[in-house]
């Protein structure tokens, strides 16, 4: 069960900006410039996914070198990945779902963890485990705004970060929901901009995304 401090940390991180970028890094050399551009654009919480061999080293570099960045780890599937990310300097962890092994490891771990859920039953199970902030994934495929609104009726004590199929055209509709803390998306860090080191473009995308939280 997460402790009060871990829950408060997750809620704080989810409230730093309306969007948490979901980042795939192919080379450690890309990570620092990319993270600095996001922070300069007003998006400090950054989820670097464990989808490439460079991910843990990228987390380590951002944690050490980018002032103002709150670097997290995504696509955590095993207890071993949770521990490796913590040792690399991650401040939060995100998973697409949950498993008995991962739940057991998270109970004993210091790293705040955001487990994923897509159904009311999954949400209720994670509530029983003490979680009050969840990742709603895959958001669009699981019913999108209507599904989150529906879940919020019987489960008003839960908050969500929605990820999966969300972009600049529909992010604002999610962020109007009272149970939605933030959205996650990859559109802030397009692959061509990352590969070419076009940090100005990424900063501009971050500034635009920051605006989704206005009003």
> Which pTM value belongs to this model?
0.96
Predicted confidence band at 3 (pLDDT cuts at 50, 70, 90)?
Answer: confident
Q: Is the pLDDT of residue 138 over 80?
A: yes
Catalytic, out of 67, 129, 135, 140: 135
Q: How many whole angstroms separate alpha carbon 196 and alpha carbon 213? A: 29
Note the pLDDT tens digit of each residue in 71-102: 999 999 999 999 999 999 999 999 999 999 99
Q: Is 135 a catalytic residue?
A: yes
Q: Is 87 a catalytic residue?
A: no
């Amino acid at each position: 069960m997460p402790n009060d401090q871990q829950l408060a940390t997750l809620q704080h991180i989810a409230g730093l900006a309306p969007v948490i970028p979901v980042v795939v890094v192919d080379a450690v050399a890309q990570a620092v410039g990319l993270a600095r551009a996001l922070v300069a654009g007003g998006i400090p919480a950054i989820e670097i996914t464990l989808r490439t061999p460079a991910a843990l080293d990228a987390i380590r570099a951002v944690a050490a070198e980018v002032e103002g960045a709150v670097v997290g780890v995504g696509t955590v599937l095993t207890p071993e990945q949770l521990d490796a990310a913590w040792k690399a300097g991650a401040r939060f962890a995100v998973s697409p779902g949950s498993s008995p092994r991962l739940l057991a490891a998270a109970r004993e771990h210091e790293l705040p963890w955001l487990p994923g859920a897509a159904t009311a039953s999954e949400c209720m199970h994670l509530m029983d485990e003490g979680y009050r902030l969840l990742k709603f994934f895959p958001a669009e495929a699981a019913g999108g705004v209507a599904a989150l609104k529906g879940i919020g009726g019987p489960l008003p004590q839960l908050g969500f970060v929605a990820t999966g199929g969300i972009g600049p055209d529909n992010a604002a509709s999610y962020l109007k929901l009272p149970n939605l803390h933030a959205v996650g998306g990859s559109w802030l860090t397009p692959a061509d901009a990352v590969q070419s080191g076009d940090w100005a473009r990424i900063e501009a995308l971050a500034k635009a995304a920051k605006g989704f939280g206005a009003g």
